[in-house]
């Protein structure tokens, strides 16, 4: 464990930050020490070799003087930051779940967890509980686990179990459901016009069953049946729905606050998200000017957010030793058996 630094004695920052490159700059190190972000997130720009990532994750934790969570998106398919030849390549989840079923997904993410923990990463932005519909935008569709609540929940639970068994915290996304969006929220704001009853029976239902998971990430989507003006991330109506009707009482982090689905300045977006009910702001691109705005606008976690953050971290366990070769063999057997059958 890392000793507490001066910043953490005053309260951890209500934000997760990225960094620009393969190592920390002096400016980044000083900034992180001063602002004390709750955690960090890595992208392909931060990844070269296992040894380099180990050094970087150590640098990040050293900067804040504690065992801060380090996140990554390692879903498989298009969204995986760790790539061959240093790490395994994975099919898109929708392709593999159709072939192999939930048990294979549990093994797949147990193997992913092993790779992540080996290089100092202890939080993965998965599972997805978004339901795939015919109209689901292509940026999301094959990242989903199926088109029915039961299938999605079964696969998502298996993913979370595999990650937790490997000592990696799962991040459930994108609450309360991104599947009906026909636009890419990285570029523009999607609107979902579906009626409230249908949403509760489908999209929201998947997240309700999985509401015991420790962390969830919001959807930058307007659900017009509830709030016709604001996306869930900045809507107090939707955040209350997530807490009171879906029943999610874990740590809620925004999706990337820089995504173009949101309007206003980075500071305005951050402040609005916290005011709506997000516990933590996610900022991904490593831009120092933007991170300064996030830190100023989001401030420190309040007592309730800190409690949720501590409860989330309590799920982070030391994994038991496993036989990787045996796990890989079992995984391949499941894949081949389902494909042959």
34-44: pLDDT as tens digits: 999 999 999 99
Domain of residue 138, residue span: 6-340
Assigned domain for 1 exists: no
Q: What is the pTM of this model?
A: 0.94
User: Tens of pLDDT along 105-157?
Assistant: 999 999 999 999 999 999 999 999 999 999 999 999 999 999 999 999 999 99
Whether the per-residue pLDDT at 4 is higher than 60: the answer is no
How many CA atoms are closer than 13 Å to the CA of 17, on its beta-carbon side?
Answer: 31
Q: pLDDT confidence of 1, banded at 50, 70, 90?
A: very low
Per-residue CA distances from 311 to 37, 61, 187, 252 (Å):
17, 19, 33, 12
Distance CA 91, CA 75 (A): 9
How many other C-beta atoms are found inside a 10 Å radius of the C-beta of residue 318? 7
CATH code for the domain of 249: 3.20.20.300
Q: How many domains does the chain have?
A: 1
Q: For a pLDDT cut of 70, what percent of the chain falls above it?
A: 96
Q: For a pLDDT cut of 90, what percent of the chain falls above it?
A: 91
Whether the per-residue pLDDT at 5 is higher than 50: the answer is no
Catalogue the active-site residues. Answer: 186, 255
For 208-212, the CB contacts below 8 A with 24+ separation are 208/245, 208/246, 208/247, 209/149, 209/153, 210/127, 210/129, 210/153, 210/156, 210/157, 210/160, 210/172, 211/246, 211/247, 211/248, 211/249, 211/250, 212/250
Give Dmax (Cα) for the chain: 59
Whether the per-residue pLDDT at 190 is higher than 60: the answer is yes
Distance CA 329, CA 318 (A): 24
Assigned domain for 144 exists: yes
Assigned domain for 215 exists: yes
Per-residue CA distances from 308 to 44, 116, 248 (Å):
29, 23, 11
Contact of 253 with 279, CB cutoff 8 Å: yes
Distance CA 25, CA 46 (A): 12
Assigned domain for 273 exists: yes
Whether the per-residue pLDDT at 175 is higher than 50: the answer is yes
């Amino acid at each position: 464990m890392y000793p507490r630094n001066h910043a953490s004695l005053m309260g951890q920052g209500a934000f997760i930050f990225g960094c620009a490159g393969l190592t920390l700059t002096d400016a980044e190190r000083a900034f992180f020490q001063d602002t004390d972000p709750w955690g960090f997130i890595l992208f392909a720009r931060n990844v070269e070799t296992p040894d380099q990532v180990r050094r970087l994750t150590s640098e990040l934790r050293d900067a804040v003087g504690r065992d801060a969570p380090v996140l990554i998106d390692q879903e498989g398919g298009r969204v995986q930051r760790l790539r061959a030849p240093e790490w395994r390549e994975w099919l898109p989840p929708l392709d593999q779940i159709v072939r192999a079923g939930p048990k294979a997904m549990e093994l797949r993410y147990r193997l992913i967890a092993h790779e992540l923990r080996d290089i100092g990463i202890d939080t993965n932005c998965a599972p997805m509980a978004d339901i795939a519909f015919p109209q689901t935008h292509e940026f999301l569709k094959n990242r989903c686990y199926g088109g029915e609540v039961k299938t999605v929940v079964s696969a998502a639970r298996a993913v979370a179990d595999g990650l937790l068994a490997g000592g990696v915290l799962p991040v459930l996304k994108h609450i309360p459901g991104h599947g009906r969006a026909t636009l890419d929220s990285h570029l523009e704001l999607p609107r979902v016009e579906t009626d409230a009853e249908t949403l509760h029976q489908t999209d929201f239902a998947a997240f309700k069953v999985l509401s015991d998971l420790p962390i969830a990430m919001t959807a930058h989507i307007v659900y017009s049946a509830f709030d016709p003006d604001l996306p869930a991330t900045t809507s107090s109506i939707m955040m209350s729905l997530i807490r009171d009707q879906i029943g999610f009482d874990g740590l809620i982090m925004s999706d990337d606050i820089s995504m173009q689905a949101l309007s206003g300045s980075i500071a305005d977006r951050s402040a609005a998200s916290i005011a709506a009910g997000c516990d933590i702001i996610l900022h991904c691109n490593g831009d120092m000017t933007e991170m300064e705005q996030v830190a100023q606008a989001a401030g420190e976690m309040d007592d309730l957010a800190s409690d949720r953050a501590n409860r989330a971290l309590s799920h982070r366990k030391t994994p038991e030793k496993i036989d990787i070769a045996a796990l890989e063999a079992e995984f391949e057997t499941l894949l081949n058996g389902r494909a042959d059958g």
